[in-house]
């Protein structure tokens, strides 16, 4: 072999060796990056851990905070608001009742015909109306006149068989999903607007008074019988269908809970004790916090960058508004420190709240062998393509960790309420049944979240107590629930009683 050939062979061999070394280095580098991604996942999973022992501490802390919130105003992170609802529906209610559900840029008007114990809800109708943007920042009269005129038009569509009895006013339940200081069953002053509303002259006013004046201006003979929030409405709807319902929980974009308390167990209540001996408490449980909550660096960063830092910590860990965002933050860290999506962090992944809980739920529920749904969501939402199956599996694991923690903490919160009511254990020979009414998109549509929450509830209560506790889906508390509360707080109830 000539010198040239030898030289060429040496160069060739060197090139092959260099290429091989490069491949090995790349493998070591990529395996190092993958190891980093796995260590981020493992650390996150550990920090999100919710063993039974921790959940029992969370439940106990919830009960303690409930006591503190009932003892005095401002005594706890839990507001424990007195709702003034002291008569929940029984199923005996009869007649035609209306509801107005105002909670965002759309509102609904509903008509519900109740037929008593035998026929229950005979008929229900509703209409949805959107609020023109200029009315969301205009005057109070303009906003409420617009609502009242839509209500009047809806009332005009009553059929001949659906009129209220002669000489009686129509009665309405008003669900108003904004911060209100409630002063009676049918009055409450607006503390502040949220969700894009800025009708300044309503702040500090009684919202029922504002609506009533507008109803009168529209020439309608209608009385607002109850001012409620959607969680209290969910409790009313649950109780109407099942007298064992003692609490209601909403797990949706946000989260809240309400329950039936013994009136004498509310030290901050200074009025006359209601005849029923009961009072519905709106907990505003999203604001619960405790040192036992498994908070991570991602939760702390999310909270710090939110519109209400330090507030609604429980909500930020368990509700639909935030689960997708927590997943995004974990993936972002993996992209930065372990280059799971290549050398650059995908620009879309840096956008807060771009990954919504319905997206992470769809990925979490992907049963296809190649995780096709995960691949599609990554491409459509984050513009990330060509992911490996190994990486898609990792992403599903992140979704699972976030949803599992949220579901298990929700269950611990429910156990805290049952504990406060003394329903978390079986007393000697006592077989008192209790039911919890649940509603909200997260509970309704995120199957793995719902299943995990219910299984955790039974795990924490134990076999014996679980037999006496039921979980039920109570639909449309903000609509039908409000109409039912108008019925149970009707001015004509006394007239009908023998």
**Domain tally for the chain?**
2
Question: What pLDDT was estimated at residue 12?
Answer: 47
Contacts of 478 (CB under 8 A, 6+ apart): 101, 103, 108, 175, 177, 230, 233, 234
Residue ending a domain, choose from 197, 228, 259: 228
Residues 447 and 473: their CA atoms lie apart, in Å, by: 13
User: Which H helix or E strand runs over 259?
Assistant: strand 255-262
User: Tell me: the pLDDT tens digits for 129-159?
Assistant: 999 999 999 999 999 999 999 999 999 998 8
Residue ending a domain, choose from 199, 228, 257: 228
Question: What pLDDT was estimated at residue 494?
Answer: 57
Per the listing, tokens 């109070």 go with 140
In a domain, 435, yes or no: yes
Question: What pLDDT was estimated at residue 166?
Answer: 78
SS3 label, residue 312: coil
List the CATH number of the domain containing 372: 3.40.367.20
Q: Residue 415 CA to chain centroid, in angstroms?
A: 17
Residues 363 and 387: their CA atoms lie apart, in Å, by: 14
Residue 306 and residue 209 share a domain: no
In a domain, 3, yes or no: no
Residue 276 and residue 161 share a domain: no
Structure tokens at 428: 């000697």
Question: What pLDDT was estimated at residue 163?
Answer: 74
Tell whether the torsion through CA atoms of 316, 317, 319 and 321 is positive or negative.
positive
Residue 325 and residue 297 share a domain: yes
For 453, other C-beta atoms within 10 Å of its C-beta total 28
Q: Are strands 245-251 and 180-184 parallel, antiparallel or unpaired?
A: unpaired
Q: Is 108 among the catalytic positions?
A: yes
Structure tokens at 228: 């409620």
Residue 247 and residue 181 share a domain: no
Q: Is 303 among the catalytic positions?
A: no
Contacts of 396 (CB under 8 A, 6+ apart): 363, 364, 366, 371, 374
Residue 213 and residue 314 share a domain: no
Which residue ranges of the chain lie beneath pLDDT 70?
Answer: 1-30, 429, 494-498
Question: What pLDDT was estimated at residue 9?
Answer: 47
Residue ending a domain, choose from 194, 228, 262: 228
Helix then strand then coil, in percent of the chain rounded to 5, is 50, 15, 30
Residue 376 and residue 323 share a domain: yes
Annotated catalytic residue within 76, 83, 177, 490 = 177
Structure tokens at 44: 């996150």
Residue 88 and residue 78 share a domain: no
Residue 153 and residue 271 share a domain: no
Residues 316 and 323: their CA atoms lie apart, in Å, by: 8
Question: What pLDDT was estimated at residue 30?
Answer: 66
Question: What pLDDT was estimated at residue 161?
Answer: 73
Per the listing, tokens 């129509």 go with 170
In a domain, 17, yes or no: no
In a domain, 485, yes or no: no
Per the listing, tokens 């809970």 go with 257
Q: For residue 213, give its domain range.
A: 84-228
Residue 189 and residue 297 share a domain: no
Pair 162, 215: CB distance under 8 Å: no
Pair 227, 186: CB distance under 8 Å: yes
Pair 290, 60: CB distance under 8 Å: no
Give the residue from 451, 353, 456 showing the smallest Cα distance to 412: 456
Residues 3 and 301: their CA atoms lie apart, in Å, by: 66
Structure tokens at 380: 């459509």
Contacts of 372 (CB under 8 A, 6+ apart): 366
List the CATH number of the domain containing 123: 3.30.420.40
Residue 448 and residue 372 share a domain: yes
Annotated catalytic residue within 76, 101, 108, 424 = 108
User: Tell me: the pLDDT tens digits for 216-253?
Assistant: 999 999 999 999 999 999 999 999 999 999 999 999 98
Pair 72, 80: CB distance under 8 Å: no
Q: Is 230 among the catalytic positions?
A: yes
Annotated catalytic residue within 230, 424, 439, 476 = 230
Residue 246 and residue 175 share a domain: no
Residue 135 and residue 73 share a domain: no
In a domain, 465, yes or no: yes
Question: What pLDDT was estimated at residue 429?
Answer: 67
In a domain, 374, yes or no: yes
């Amino acid at each position: 072999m000539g010198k040239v050939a030898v030289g060429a062979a040496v160069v060739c061999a060197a090139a092959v060796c260099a290429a091989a070394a490069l491949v090995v280095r790349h493998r070591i580098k990529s395996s190092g990056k993958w190891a980093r991604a796995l260590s981020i996942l493992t650390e996150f999973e550990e920090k999100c851990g919710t063993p039974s022992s921790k959940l029992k501490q969370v439940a106990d802390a919830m009960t303690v905070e409930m006591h503190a919130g009932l003892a005095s105003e401002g005594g706890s992170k839990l507001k424990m608001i007195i709702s003034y609802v002291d008569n929940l529906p029984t199923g005996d209610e009869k007649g035609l009742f209306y509801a107005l559900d105002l909670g965002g840029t759309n509102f609904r008007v509903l008509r519900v015909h109740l037929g008593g114990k035998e026929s229950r809800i005979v008929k229900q109708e509703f209409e949805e109306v959107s609020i023109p943007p200029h009315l969301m920042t205009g005057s109070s009269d303009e906003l409420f006149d617009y609502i009242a005129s839509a209500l009047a038009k809806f009332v005009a569509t009553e059929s001949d068989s659906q009129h209220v009895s002669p000489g009686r006013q129509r009665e309405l339940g008003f669900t108003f999903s904004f911060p209100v200081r409630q002063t009676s069953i049918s009055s409450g002053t607006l503390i502040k607007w949220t969700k894009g509303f800025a009708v300044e002259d309503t702040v500090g006013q009684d919202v029922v008074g504002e609506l009533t004046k507008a109803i009168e201006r529209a020439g309608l003979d209608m009385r607002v019988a109850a001012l409620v929030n959607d969680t209290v409405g969910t409790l009313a709807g649950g109780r109407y269908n099942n007298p064992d319902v003692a609490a209601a929980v909403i797990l949706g974009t946000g989260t809240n809970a309400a329950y039936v308390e013994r009136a004498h167990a509310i030290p901050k209540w200074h009025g006359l004790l209601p005849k029923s001996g009961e009072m519905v408490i709106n907990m505003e449980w999203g604001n619960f916090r405790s040192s036992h909550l498994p908070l991570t660096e991602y939760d702390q960063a999310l909270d710090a960058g939110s519109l209400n830092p330090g507030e609604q910590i429980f909500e930020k860990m368990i509700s639909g508004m935030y689960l997708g965002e927590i997943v995004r933050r974990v993936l972002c860290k993996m992209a930065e420190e372990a280059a799971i999506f290549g050398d650059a962090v995908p620009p879309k992944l840096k956008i807060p709240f771009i990954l919504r809980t319905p997206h992470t739920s769809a990925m979490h529920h992907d049963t296809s062998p190649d995780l096709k749904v995960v691949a599609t969501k990554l491409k459509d939402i984050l513009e990330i393509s060509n992911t490996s199956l190994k990486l898609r599996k990792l992403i599903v694991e992140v979704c699972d960790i976030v949803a599992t923690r949220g579901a298990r903490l929700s269950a611990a919160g429910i156990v805290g309420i049952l504990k406060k009511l003394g329903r978390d254990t079986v007393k000697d020979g006592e077989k008192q049944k209790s039911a919890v009414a649940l509603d909200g998109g997260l509970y309704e549509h995120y199957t793995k979240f719902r299943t995990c929450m219910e299984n955790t509830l039974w795990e924490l209560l134990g076999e014996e107590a679980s037999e006496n506790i039921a979980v039920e889906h109570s639909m449309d508390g903000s609509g039908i629930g409000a109409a039912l509360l108008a019925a149970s707080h009707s001015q004509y109830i006394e007239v009908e009683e023998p």
